[in-house]
Structure 1
Amino acid sequence: MSTSTTTILPDAVAGNWVDRHAPERLRPWLKLGRFDRPAGIWLLMLPGWQGIALAAAERGRWPDPLLLLAVFVGAALMRAAGCAFNDIVDRDFDAQVARTAMRPIPAGQISVKQAWMFLVGCSLVSLMILLTLGWVAIGLGVLSLGLVAGYPFMKRITWWPQAWLGLTFNWGALLGYAAATHHLSWSAALLYASGIFWTLGYDTIYAIQDIEDDALAGIKSSTRRLGRHVRLGVAGFYAASFALLIAAAWVGNIGPLFLPLAGAFALHLSRQAAAVRLDDGPGALKLFKSNALAGLMVFAGLVAGFWKPGVSF
C-alpha cells in the first residue's frame, strides 16, 4: 500500500470515511473532489437550500424535498468539479504549500489529463440535474461557470479572492430560489448578498492556515491584506451578512419564527469572530468548519418562517 495514497490531508478529519472505508484505488479521486472534507459541500449546498426555503416561506409552504435533494447532489458534484479545476490551475502553487502539497495532482497520484476527465464527468451529471430545474435556473447555472472558472486566478490578481469565492459559492441562493419559483426577486438578491459576506468572513478565517506559505508563494488573500486587523475584518463581514439576511427576510415577509434562529446565527458568527487568532491555524480550521451549522441555522429559520400569524395550515 503506497504511503501517498493513504496520507490523510492536513485539512481532512482523521478517520474520515474516505481513508477508512473507500477502496484504495478510489481514494485519490475522492480526495480530488474533496469528498474526504464534506464541509465545503455543505457550504456550497446550503445557499441553494436557503434560496428554496426562502421561496417556500414567501408562499407559506414547506420546501420541496425533491428539489432539496437535487440541489444537494448537484452541489456535491459541482464542488468536486470546481475543486478539480482549482487543483489543475494551482498545481504548481499547491506543491509549495504544506497543507496542499499532498493533494492528488501535485502528489502525482492523478495526472492533469485524468483530472480533466473527472471534471467533465462531474459537470455532465450536474448538467443533467440542472436541465430539470426550469429555464431561469438553467440560465443561472450557465452564468455560474464564469465565476467558477475565474476563481483560481483571483489569488494572483487581487487581495480579495475570498470575495470572488463568495460570489461563486452563494450563487445557489439565486439558483435555488429560481428553481422553486421560475423567477428572481429582491429578497433572493439580498439573501445572495448576505451569503457573499458570510463566505468572505469564513474563508478569511480559513486562509489563516496558509498565511505564511501564501506569503512565500506570492499568493494573495484577504487574510494577508487585513493582517493584525483580521478579527475586526471578520466581525465586519459577519455583521454585514446578518444585516442583509434580516433585510431579505423583511422584504420576503418571512414569519416571526425566523427570528430566533436568525439570532442564533448572529451569536454563532460573533463567537467565531471573537475566537479568531492569526497564529492559530488548527483553531481557524475548526471555526471554518462550524459554518456548516451556521448555514443550517439560516435554512431552518427560513423554513420556520413559512408560518405567519393569523394564517392556518
Structure 2
Amino acid sequence: MTDHLDDRAPGHLSDTPDDPRDDRRDLDLLRAADPVSATEGPWRDRPLNAVAERGLNQLLHRTRTRRARRRVLLWAEAAAVALAAVLALTLPDLGAASATAAPSALHPRAGSAAVPLGLLVERAAAAARDGEPALRKGARVQTWSLALDSGPDADRPVTLPEEREVRWRPDGSRTERVSSDGKLLSTRVYPPSWSDVPPQARPPHTAAALRAYLTDGFDGGVARRADPLTTQEILEFLPSLLETWTLGARESAALVELLADTGGLRPAGAVTDRLGRSGQAYVLDSPGEHLRYMLILDPANGEALGLEQTFTKDQPDFAVEAGDVMEYNAWRR
C-alpha cells in the first residue's frame, strides 16, 4: 500500500487552525461518502484497496479545500461570481494551458468518425516501435471534482478544479505541488517509498503483464483474485496509476490492447477535452451505479488524455442530476 503522510510532512505549507465546527462538517462529509446502498450506487461497499485508499485521501484533501471555498462564496454572496472565476481558470504556476472547469459533461462531436478500439491498438503499436517517449515516474494531472452536500436541503454541487504535479527524485522521495484557481495550495515533500505494490511498482509494457499489474494494484497487492479485472475496474485504477507515472509509448500501447481485449468500451466519436486537445471518446455504462465512464485517447498513439465519470440518474440526496460530472481527470506530459 502506498505511503501517506499527515499535514506535518516536511515541506508542507501548514493550514490555518481549524474551527471545531469545521471538524464536525468534515465528519458529516465523511458520513455522506459512506455508501447509500451496500450493493449499488457510486459509493457502494468495497474492500479498502488502492483505489479506495486514493479516494479517501482525496476526500480528506477536498474537505480542507472546500472549507476555504465556502468562505469565499459567502464573502462573494453570489455563486455566479464563483462560477465565472472557475470558467476563467488558468494555472500559470505549473505552465499549464488555460482550462475550463465546466460542470456539464463532454459530448463527442456530432457526425464525427469513431475510431474502433482495434484500429487504435494497431496505431498505438506502430507508434511504440521505437520506444519513444519512454516511461517516466512523475505526473501532471488536472482534476475537476464535485463537492457534494447531503440531505434534503443540500445545495447543488460545486465543481472544484485542481492541478497536481508530482516529481520524483533518484532516492525515491517526491515533491507534490497542488494548485487550484491559479493559486498554489501546498507543496509537500514525501520521503522515499519502499512500497513495491502498484502503482508504485514500475508498470510493464505488455498487455498480459499489465493486466496482472493492475489486478495487484486494484486488490491492494494482498492476494491474486481468480476472476479477471473488468473494464470498469481498469478505468477506476487509471487515476492512481497516472498520478504516479507518465506512460511511455509502449505502456500506452499495452493499455489500449488490454482494454480492447477486455471489451465493454464502445467508440463514441471525436471529442475535444477540457484542455483543448482532440481525442477519441470510448464509453462504458455502469447501470448499477448510475455512472458513465468516458475515456479519451489520442487517436494517433493511444495515449490516455482524460477520463470522465458522469451521473446517469438523479441523486436527490446529494442534489445531483443526471448529466452532472462526478469527476474528470486530464493527464499531461
Q: Does the pair score TM above 0.5?
A: no
Which structure dedicates a bigger proportion of its chain to strand?
2
Q: TM-score, normalising length from structure 2?
A: 0.26
Which structure dedicates a bigger proportion of its chain to helix?
1
